[in-house]
Structure 1
């Protein structure tokens, strides 16, 4: 992996993160509101689950 691969991966993150607010701004507001109602412990669990899923996908892909 070189620096351009890292930049491409970061660019893809920004692209995918920007899709929902662009395509459905009202929906993303609802999601943010619902997320603000969830406890910190549940949000942390969702975060670590997402991280582990990403690591798993990278392991399979590489």
Structure 2
């Protein structure tokens, strides 16, 4: 259970760092994401999940 809390904590730190350190650029990037079609957004999500799985697998 503590591993999952550590992972969740890291996700929150990384997700919060961008708007904290670069708010204008973050809003621009987020705005671009909202203009993607559903298929494009799903592809971005797939790439993110695949990178996360590969990263997690390399740590095991």
- Pairwise same-fold verdict (TM > 0.5): yes
2: CA distance, partners of 1:32 / 1:57: 24
Deviations 1:2-55 (A, max 9, x none): x11110110000000000000011111111111111111011001011101111
List gaps (5 residues or longer) in structure 1: none
Name segments (4+ residues, structure 1) moved above 6 Å: none
Which protein, 1 or 2, shows the higher relative CO under an 8 Å CA cutoff with sep ≥ 6? Answer: 2
1: CA distance, partners of 2:58 / 2:27: 34
TM-score, with normalisation over the residues of structure 1?
Answer: 0.90
TM-score, with normalisation over the residues of structure 2?
Answer: 0.92
Matches within 5 A, 1:17-56: 17-56=15-54
RMSD: 0.8
Larger Rg: 1
